[in-house]
Structure 1
């Protein structure tokens, strides 16, 4: 089941409800939203409404429905960089440019397609398009991702994420020189009211978000930091580093343009620690920096010699 539960802000008001929901929920098409409205599933302040309804400030929009299956994730043979695997769990080192699960515009070549070929049984909790996916990382973010092979493992790992006991460490190359060695960014993240395709630090329909960072290496105009996620909001590290005026290098959504040819943000999930859902053993998995990221760091070091 899927749920929508939002309150309209002053900035969001006076637009059609079908347009508003389709922009707020990235993976819901406008036609799908109109179908939900026609079926009386979407309510405003407890009452069903039509697609042309103009939302007002403080309107409470709710809906509970099943995701419509418009496509099927099919197995595809591909070389997966598996860093850990047993009967319950797989940890994958995801390359840059790979989408985690199928969606409109990306129905093939995703990590899920490769997982379905490699592993016949995956957790079904997230449905047929996201089997086994406990958490996600962005298309152009590289590094470690944990996948559940069964529902028991999925439930246990999801609880660890909710309880903030999964330790996720990322390397990020950011613009500017950060002077202090450690820091915590505690700033709520929600949908950007000016651009619905982006997230932002905002008080509008936002959720708590905390990122802890440590400086690893400083360069003339850049800083290599290690970030630890306490929460797991969409684009969290990218948004938080932009918020403190040190955006991630190569980030086409949140950073400066035309600085380096990186084909996406230099952000890498290099370490994952979790408690095994069956053995209760603490598992730590690591993945070295991808070649492009490592080469850029070496070039920056050579410029300082």
Structure 2
């Protein structure tokens, strides 16, 4: 299997640390990445000459870091299939996940997941096919998912994941109307004692969880709500909306009822605003509302199909 090296270029500024090792630590290289750089085929060039970690730098030096190759994991098989690429560069891949497909394989490896599809896509495009999942979505939630192409990019993204540099916005269709129409749900979430795969509000053992919401449209019997995650708990939006008495339409797990108008929870990650951790460019990425939620919106408005 072909693996590819990744290149990072830096120009030394006055405020930068002046040895290679300290400079790399300053620029968010973890100890394991430094180890890989030193022992697994990474290279460092200063002004086009190969140097070691203890080399002294000066302002204006050009530093080229050749990241060590990453062997892809055998745990995720490449599986061919169509993926909807929203953004891609040498560091990141952002895809629009359809509903009904998991983000990562469970212990049984046979079913197709986004990770399997992305791995096949990377191999087809002669990329390093190590999978670095930055954000995941529940099987029946649709929308934007972020993959990093290297462990270095993954670690940079992890460091900004729950900050203003990495903002995640969702659209949900809920039963009823939230009061007030805009606000913050601040309720701790823990594992539901009734079932390990469920989550519940737990004021004793739960982890702090915050979701900002804004009502975008009101219909007879339902609403369209925009939500912004300030924390990243499992099932966070679903649990929070259920806890305040307005579960997501179609979310049988938390609303305790089936809805004939949609076959899954009406929840979609429609917008990511990310300060690119390498280029510092603002990525404002969007994924349109999927067809089943468009149909549901029409039903809530009282429109009839056909």
TM-score by length of structure 2 reads 0.71
**Is the contact between residue 172 and residue 225 of structure 1 (CA under 8 Å) also seen in structure 2?**
yes
- Give the aligned length: 229
User: Unpaired runs of 5+ in structure 2?
Assistant: 1-72
Which structure: larger Rg? 2
- Tell me, yes or no, if structure 1 residue 108 matches structure 2 residue 101: no
- Tell me, yes or no, if structure 1 residue 142 matches structure 2 residue 142: yes
Post-superposition shift, 1:280? Answer: 0.8
Matched residue, 2:83: 80
TM-score by length of structure 1 reads 0.71
Post-superposition shift, 1:252? Answer: 1.8
Matched residue, 2:188: 188
Post-superposition shift, 1:135? Answer: 1.8
Q: Distance in 2 between matches of 1:203 and 1:104?
A: 32
Matched residue, 1:203: 203
Matched residue, 1:8: none
Q: Distance in 2 between matches of 1:267 and 1:290?
A: 10
**Is the contact between residue 250 and residue 259 of structure 1 (CA under 8 Å) also seen in structure 2?**
yes
Tell me the alpha carbon deviations over residues 27-85 of structure 1, each in whole angstroms, 9 at most, x when there is no partner.
xxxxxxxxxxxxxxxxxxxxxxxxxxxxxxxxxxxxxxxxxxx9721111110011000
Post-superposition shift, 1:303? Answer: 5.0
Tell me the alpha carbon deviations over residues 154-191 of structure 1, each in whole angstroms, 9 at most, x when there is no partner.
01110111435311110000111224220100011110
* SS of match in other structure, 1:269: strand
**Is the contact between residue 160 and residue 166 of structure 2 (CA under 8 Å) also seen in structure 1?**
yes
Q: Distance in 2 between matches of 1:204 and 1:122?
A: 44
Q: Distance in 2 between matches of 1:274 and 1:303?
A: 36
Q: Distance in 1 between matches of 2:188 and 2:179?
A: 24
Matched residue, 2:218: 218
**Is the contact between residue 174 and residue 225 of structure 1 (CA under 8 Å) also seen in structure 2?**
yes
**Is the contact between residue 164 and residue 231 of structure 1 (CA under 8 Å) also seen in structure 2?**
no
* SS of match in other structure, 1:253: helix
**Is the contact between residue 97 and residue 145 of structure 2 (CA under 8 Å) also seen in structure 1?**
yes
- Extract structure 1 runs of 4+ deviating beyond 6 A: none
Tell me the alpha carbon deviations over residues 184-237 of structure 1, each in whole angstroms, 9 at most, x when there is no partner.
000111101222220011024321100000001111111110000000100000
* SS of match in other structure, 1:91: strand
